[in-house]
Every structure is written in C-alpha cells, then in structure tokens.
Amino acid sequence: MNTVRKDLKLNNHIKGMLCILAAAFGFSLMTFFVRFSGDVPTMQKAFFRNAVAAVISFFMLLSSKEKFHIHRSSFGDIFFRCLFGTSGLIANFYAIDRLAIADANMLNKLSPFFAILLSIPILKEKPKKVDIIATIIAFVGALFIIRPTGNLEVIPALIGLYGGFGAGTAYVFVRKLGGKGERTSVIVFCFSVFSCIVTAPFLILSYHPMTFQQTLYLCLAGVFASLGQFGITSAYKFAPAREISVFDYTQVIYAAILGMLFLGEIPVPLSIAGYVIIIGVAVVRWRINLKNNE
C-alpha cells in the first residue's frame, strides 16, 4: 500500500512539474505577444487576452459533465481570485509595455513569496522560518530590478511589483478553491469573464483601431495565456507549491531569450543580479522544503 501511495505521489509530482513548465512557457509567450502588439492601450490588451481564454474555457465547460456548476461555498473565494488576478494582470501588462520583458516577468514571479505572506490570513498557514527568510531575501533581489530612485521612472516597476502581489494573492485563492474541489475550467472561466467585464468599459470608451497583425498577436497572447492559466491551475492541484513552484521561474529564462532574440533587450547587470538572488533563494527554499518533507 505504501508503495502504491509513493508511486501515486511521484506520478502527481511529475504531472505537476510538467504542467508548471508548460504554464511558464505559455505565460512567457503571452508576455512576448503582448509587448509585440505595439501601441495598444493596456486595458484593450487585457480584454483581448482574457476574451480568448473565456471562449476556450467556455467550450471546455460546455463539453463537461458538470457544465457550469459552482459550489455555493466557493463564490466569495472565486470573487477574490478574480479581483486580485485581474488587477495583478493589468499591472503586469502595464509593466510589460514599459520595462524589459524579463524584468516584468521577474517582478511577476515574486508571486510565490507574496503567496507565503497571504497564506497566513487566508489559509491560516504558519510559514516556516526558511520561508520568511527566503521572502525577505527575494524582496531584496527585487530592489535590484526596481532600482528605486526619486523620480517617476520607478513607477512602472512598482506597478509590476503589484502585479506579483495580485498574482500571488490569486494563487492562494486558487489553492483554497482546489481544496473545495472546484474545477480548473470553472476557475479560469470565472476569472476570464470577470476580467473582460472590468476592462470592457475602457475598451468601449477609448478603443484603439488595430491592424490585422496586432489583432493576431493579441489573439495569440490569449491562446498562450490560456495554456499558462490551465497549466498553473492544474499544477497546484497535482502537487503542493513547495514541491514544484521553483519550475515556474523558467518563465523568466524564456522571456529573457525572447527579449534578446526579437526585441534586442539585454538585461542590465543590476537586473541580472536581481534575477540570480530571487531564483537562487527560490531554489534553496525548494530544496530545503523537499528535504524536510522526505
């Protein structure tokens, strides 16, 4: 029986790892196509990105046995997942248009450390000492990317930091919903529709005409965002964050490569130092947590 349980745990761990690697790849391409779409307003980009995800998740739910059923006890958690996820996504898109895409991605990847802090009041989890130390070091690493100064140039980086906060908070609610048995497609659909409702008024009031290429790029951003959303939501259902979250940082590597190859973006030395600190502390924390749970 113990052998069967260990095999099942290993199998779920591998599934979770593959899902989160696919999610990281999807989100990096989403970031790339959002940036590549050019001078389209942030809210318009966010609308198109979520509209595609809403359509994909709608048809997935339509073909499922349970259709659109949501547990009554999940309504509040779904609302907060949508609220923080949407505000975090808009902040992330704003940062993508104004920072190097690797920097924007790295600030967004502070989400696991924000999740540690938000898990205290939301999930009533008590973080380990190593988690608190890792979070402090990660935020020190973020300072190398934000590079705070007394002028307005720091604003996009601070908004990008909020994007990480929003994503981290949203993932805590995803974990809570997973514990209640809510399906991935339900969570993705609710989030996508909520985001479309929030961004639609901005789209109507200040629509920016787009070329065929820009429309295509934003549709591709939506397709790859769907891959990322389904991947990350499924990943945390297969395995705990402490076991697989470190693989999410491959998104920064993908984004840096895409930025260098197609956008001519070379990360500055201070940003690279920030990447090393944040990814390094994430890897160390991951190894310690794995060892403690053996």
Is the model's pLDDT at 243 over the cut of 80?
no
Domain ranges of the chain: 2-292
Region 79-93: what's the mean pLDDT? 95
* CA distance readout (Å), 57 to 111, 183, 230: 24, 11, 9
Distances (CA, A) of 184 to 64, 72, 239: 12, 16, 14
Report the alpha-carbon distance of residue 50 to residue 39 in Å, rounded.
18
Banded pLDDT at 224 (limits 50, 70, 90): very high
Identify the top-confidence range among 64-73, 239-248, 285-294. 64-73
pLDDT at residue 80 greater than cutoff 80 = yes
pLDDT tens for 137-160 read 999 999 899 887 666 678 999 999
User: How far is it, in rounded angstroms, from Cα 177 to Cα 165?
Assistant: 19
Query: Can you state the angle between helices 184-205 and 75-96, rounded to 10 degrees?
Result: 50
91-100, 193-202, 231-240: which range is least confident on average?
Answer: 231-240
What's the predicted TM-score (pTM) here? 0.85
Binning the chain into helix, strand and coil, the percentages to the nearest 5 are: 85, 0, 15
Q: Are 245 and 112 in contact (CB under 8 A)?
A: yes
Query: Which pLDDT band, with edges at 50, 70 and 90, does 171 fall under?
Result: confident
Q: What is the mean pLDDT of residues 44-64?
A: 89
